[in-house]
């Protein structure tokens, strides 16, 4: 498994764990994909190949990044950690980008991916607090 890219490992984890397949929605960006929650149909992860300059970084070689959804508080603390950047192409208040160059370990990414998946799951309806009439 060490020979596979982090992007490939994370994609395989998503498919094995959540049973969702990558959806390639953009003809002009064939390497970019999203993953949807099977019940809500909302996105919980987006995998993209992005030029460093679009992320505020230097370099010429495109980077694999994954956007995931998480809380504003969590985003604030993660942004001070190497490998985490403001979300590319998503709402920066609710999404964060993770550079998939092994600067963030799979073991760090997986719990965040689980949170993102749970965040877009259908919400349970609360039972009515109205008394039942006899």
Q: Is 96 in contact with 78 (CB distance < 8 Å)?
A: yes
Residue 128 has pLDDT above 70, yes or no: no
Residue 33 has pLDDT above 90, yes or no: yes
Share of the chain above pLDDT 70, in %: 91
Domain 6-119, CATH class in plain words:
alpha beta
Confidence of residue 35 (pLDDT cuts 50, 70, 90): very high
Confidence of residue 1 (pLDDT cuts 50, 70, 90): very low
DSSP class per residue in 27-92: TT-TT-EEEE-TTT--EEEEEEEE-GGGGT---SS-EEEEEEE--HHHHHHHTTSTTEEEPSSS-T
What is the pTM for the complete model shown?
Answer: 0.84
Return the domain boundaries, the chain: 6-119
pLDDT (mean) for 44-57:
90
């Amino acid at each position: 498994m060490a020979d596979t890219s982090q992007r490939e490992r994370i994609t395989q984890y998503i498919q094995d764990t959540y049973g969702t397949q990558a959806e390639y929605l953009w003809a002009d960006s064939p390497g970019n994909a999203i993953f949807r929650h099977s019940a809500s149909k909302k996105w919980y992860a987006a995998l993209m190949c992005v030029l460093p300059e679009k992320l505020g970084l230097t370099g010429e070689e495109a980077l694999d990044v994954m956007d995931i959804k998480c809380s504003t508080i969590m985003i604030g603390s993660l942004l001070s950690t190497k490998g985490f950047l403001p979300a590319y192409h998503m709402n920066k208040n609710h999404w964060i980008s993770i550079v998939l160059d092994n600067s963030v370990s799979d073991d760090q990414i997986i719990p965040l991916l689980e949170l993102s998946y749970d965040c877009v799951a259908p919400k349970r309806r609360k039972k009515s607090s109205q008394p039942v009439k006899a």
